[in-house]
Structure 1
């Protein structure tokens, strides 16, 4: 497309936005990797303030609404919404930085030990002493309660900015951006709750009681974190095999990990490095970062393979795609689908035997327990979307919303949730629905790969070829469009519900 067809300033806006996104991703990565003590996201946003002036946002909107063809219209729509998002983020960024820095410096004292706020949840997940888990959880709750006024201020400022740009309704704005009717989507999820309830409360409940030695339902949420770590199987998932097993899998798929020089692996062990694996799309596909701090254990493998799925998607995107189709996703449902696909390998008993040498009978039991954990997480997210849609009906009513959080999450998960977490447990812009879309997507994509390439599709280069072809399209499609191209029916709960049968 020529510059005249694209518009005189659209290309410049895309290039400058790309630079801003690169700097923000780099800043976030450096802090998470333990290479910087303080976040300066707000300073970066201010350096690019020319991008977010009202007249620039209005120009981008006019360019989108006056586009001559469907493709240009979609690319300009994404540019407009990205600029709008940053324009609204500008007064919020300093508030986020202040909260992040405050929590980085927040330590709690438990049994004479000083523990950083961000280390509390992973510490609880690995703590074998149930009474100490409770004490750690109490400390976390106190810190969450202290942070709630700051989170309320961030939300209030977000709502004010939405109104300033003509969007009085938070859910309505998310619907326009991500092209999803959230209330209808939530209604379509109700049968999934019913179809999985019996298996969950019977089989997952037995796993909880066996692992914790306590009666359930009614246990505090922190004990669910411990169950989800599958610590009893840690010896089979050694840290030295983590990256090795991933690279061996890629080679069997016909993907040479040594050729992925654009995907940078940071496996260094630093005191301030976040222990959970993460992926940063700094400038797909030119520069992608995968952070990992190998500790070993099933949960370590699970989080790493999840982030590996993101990294492969971003790193194998075609560089020839327009900026909008490389960097500006409609939602994160698509990339989360690929992340869930690779994470599912760590639940696959055949994969565990093939790459980690785990005995088949043990691998089958680990796999069964891991799928029960997946079901538990799915039901938690079914509760989260129900709660968050209620939250945004009256978002600043703290008493109402904290009570709703405890009630809704407790009913669907069987765990006792703390009221103090009602703000901390919410991701911006209804990301909860992106995850749920990915649950549908992964079940269908995994089913497609299995039906065409067998239960060990991860060893078939033809399956790898298909995945590479899908990844080449970047974020041009959403998850449902990708699935439709494979002949799958979007939002089909059947494949997802069926995988939990017989557990």
Structure 2
């Protein structure tokens, strides 16, 4: 049973990631994941779920998690293709011109005039509202399959193969929100007033997005310096990006290109894509560094590893490495060495970028709280109220109820992200202890390559053990962010 299963899982991953990359990079008009899933449908059948449950195969939980997820996604595969194809082709009016739904977000976050920015925001929100009926029906189908499999609710199904207890972890996240509340709201209020000319309590998500771009520093992040900076940093770790023929970086601007940056590990470790739609300024560097962490993780994964260690397992493990690279931007020494920031400017930017970091972690704490309530009750009719209340409490921004399904990733990806944020701070501290304050050096590169080489074999907790920690400790990140 195990060998045919391994072979099919690896082939499916390759075909799905290739299709995902081509569509969301704007090179393919339609998304046709459903055709690929249909080809491998035996992997996601109810019979396969039961077969894995009753088996004694190695890494049984990895295969079970994969099959459970596939069984739910199989119910909505055509709907996903239709929705994403529709969104890629939708247009909204911006300043009298029609632009794509995706590119409108780039224009929105760069628009300094609040009324103009808000108009773009509302027009995008109209599209979200129009498609909510389709999204709601998709979630109903998934919830029905949860019941078919004998689980009480969606939360119970996901918990069955997750290594951390959601309820206990949510308590840690609530504690993080409590411990960082005063610092966050004081600093975020000041930033909103200065950048977006609006008070906390009146500010909407577009106001927050504009303020958190830190546009005053844009000239210090010129687009032409992006790839040279990345290359120089990787060389400090002993990695020559120009010689990595298995790595492909796509920064081309295409009308249908999705604004959300991503890494597509089409064939691990031989064909890894980084896709990003440049929006200008600091954000380009942050998102590229983040996705580069994923890219290097998959590019250095040992080819001989069993497929379950290359393509199955928690996505959060790779997020630890992505955050490690991204949050170099809150390191004054990195800013001075690789971007030429003067001392005072480096300190000011690093402090502000820590606020961006804190906002995002708090936002995801709010998302996780919302998802726990939504997926435990499976109450789609009241989901909007739960979403708006939870996100507003965590960030202070007036999140709209209409966004509750558009801003919802499956299988508690918010928990993966949060675990990764906390674990990254601990890994960073280990690197500093081992290799010094400016930890980026060839020895650190070798240390990271050893971790990367194991692909997704280890859980986040096991990665932390290898780095010298006993468990996830939220206080390390709190301290790093100034609490």
Q: What is the TM-score of this pair, normalised by structure 2? A: 0.96
Please say if 1:355 is aligned against 2:338.
yes
Please say if 1:264 is aligned against 2:248.
yes
Cα deviation digits, residues 147-189 of structure 1 (max 9, x gap): 1111111111111112222223111111112222111110122
Please say if 1:231 is aligned against 2:223.
no
Secondary structure of the 1:179 match is coil
Please say if 1:185 is aligned against 2:169.
yes
8 Å CA contact 1:10–1:60 kept in 2: the answer is no
- Cross-structure match for 1:367: 350
Q: CA deviation at 1:364?
A: 1.4
8 Å CA contact 2:293–2:322 kept in 1: the answer is yes
Q: CA deviation at 1:294?
A: 4.0
What are the equivalent positions in structure 2 for 1:338-487 lying under 5 Å apart? 338-398=321-381, 400-458=382-440, 460-487=441-468
Q: 1:169 aligns with which of 147, 150, 153?
A: 153
State the superposition RMSD in angstroms: 1.6
Cα deviation digits, residues 267-289 of structure 1 (max 9, x gap): 33333223443201112112211
- Cross-structure match for 1:47: 39
CA distance in 1 between counterparts of 2:146 and 2:270 reads 33
8 Å CA contact 2:89–2:256 kept in 1: the answer is no
Please say if 1:17 is aligned against 2:43.
no
- Cross-structure match for 2:95: 111
Deviation above 6 Å: which 4+ runs of structure 1? none
8 Å CA contact 2:94–2:120 kept in 1: the answer is yes
CA distance in 1 between counterparts of 2:206 and 2:190 reads 17
Q: Which is further off, 102-111 or 126-135? A: 102-111
Secondary structure of the 1:428 match is coil
Q: Which is further off, 427-436 or 444-453? A: 444-453
Please say if 1:498 is aligned against 2:482.
no
**Residues matched between the structures, number:** 483
8 Å CA contact 1:156–1:396 kept in 2: the answer is no
8 Å CA contact 1:159–1:168 kept in 2: the answer is no
Q: CA deviation at 1:309?
A: 0.3
Q: CA deviation at 1:40?
A: 0.7
Q: Which is further off, 441-450 or 278-287? A: 278-287
CA distance in 1 between counterparts of 2:94 and 2:116 reads 9
Structure 2 residue ranges without an equivalent (≥5): none
8 Å CA contact 1:205–1:217 kept in 2: the answer is no
8 Å CA contact 2:17–2:265 kept in 1: the answer is yes
8 Å CA contact 1:228–1:299 kept in 2: the answer is no
8 Å CA contact 1:443–1:496 kept in 2: the answer is yes
CA distance in 2 between counterparts of 1:497 and 1:102 reads 41
Cα deviation digits, residues 83-128 of structure 1 (max 9, x gap): 3322332221001111111211221224312232222333221111
Q: Which is further off, 218-227 or 271-280? A: 271-280
Secondary structure of the 2:417 match is helix
Secondary structure of the 2:92 match is strand
Q: Which is further off, 267-276 or 492-501? A: 267-276
8 Å CA contact 1:34–1:272 kept in 2: the answer is yes
Structure 1 residue ranges without an equivalent (≥5): 1-8
8 Å CA contact 2:430–2:468 kept in 1: the answer is no
8 Å CA contact 1:14–1:79 kept in 2: the answer is no
Q: What is the TM-score of this pair, normalised by structure 1? A: 0.92
CA distance in 1 between counterparts of 2:278 and 2:236 reads 23
